Amino acid sequence: MKNWNINFFAYRKYYFTISIMLIVVTLACALVFGINLDIQFKGGALLTYSYTGDLDASAFQKAAEKVLGQSVSMQESTDIATGKQNIVLSLPTSEGIDAERQAALAAALNEQFSGNEIETASISVVNPTIGGEFLAKCLVAIGFAALLMVFYVSFRFRRIGGWSAGVTAVIALVHDILMVFAVFVVGRISLNANFIAVCLTILGYSLNDTIVIYDRIRENRRIYGASMPVEDLVNLSLNQSMTRSLLTSVTTASAMIVVSLVALLYNVNTILSFSFPMIIGMVSGFYSSVCIAPALWTMWQKKKAA
């Protein structure tokens, strides 16, 4: 096992600078380019059509927009169960799409693409009010989970500061959620249920990594007591737990990379919009657990002692 000897605390200003710059860029992109909310959050209609053979996706989109009289978003995917190619049209609308317009659209598409055997696979409509309520409940769930984690970490590590451990751990978690948010904003991926799923998964993953490090700090505090300065105590604990944290992160991220490659190969965008942000979230989780949370905790303890 490799013996690490890195002075993590000495580079804290670089960690904070990098994180602040990434967060500022993310928020700037969100303000300038906007946030793409999926239909399940903002309301609208989702129309899925299956087809055979080769199809001009751009012409398909234009034909749909001509019939509906408004712009639509389009995605291509493959139904793994049937092997059929699908085109998914996203229609942002507060009124939904009635049966008459559905029939008119299906007839026009079948007429223009008669050789592709166009079939309506599914149509789902989400009310904007329900979508907004769903988004609000998801955000509340994330906030409530973070609050519970503060209390849990504070109680478990009450021997090394309690609240300082809980608060700094959650600051690191907020950092990770913002990095996941950055993937969706910069990558122009629509915010949907996958975003909430990734955030909740990363909360647990990153917290576990941070707890391992705090646990090592607590054990070293018991062994060395007040004889070792707090920054040396944290550096020792980080170096001792580095191999475990690194191997865990690499193993888990590798699995998600394989999933992402398979999703790209089969053009399964719904899986890709989960697996790729998960990879970034795992990298961020490792970084924040090693570089952000311990550095903040050390600064808190030094200020408290002063």
Q: What is the pLDDT of residue 1?
A: 47
More confident residue, 233 or 97: 233
Q: What is the mean pLDDT of residues 139-161?
A: 83
CATH class of the domain comprising 44-126: alpha beta
Residue range(s) occupied by CATH 3.30.70.3400 in the chain: 44-126
Q: What is the pLDDT of residue 124?
A: 78
Residue range(s) occupied by CATH 1.20.1640.10 in the chain: 8-37+130-305
* Ranges 123-132, 185-194, 230-239, 274-283: which has the least confidence: 123-132
Q: What is the pLDDT of residue 55?
A: 81
Q: What is the bridge-based pairing of β-strands 44-51 and 85-91?
A: antiparallel
Q: What is the mean pLDDT of residues 271-276?
A: 89
- Whole-prediction pTM value? 0.80
Residue 176 has pLDDT above 90, yes or no: yes
> Is 8-37+130-305 assigned to CATH 1.10.510.10?
no
Could you report the per-residue pLDDT of 217-226, keeping only the tens digit for each? 999 888 887 7
Q: What is the mean pLDDT of residues 88-99?
A: 72
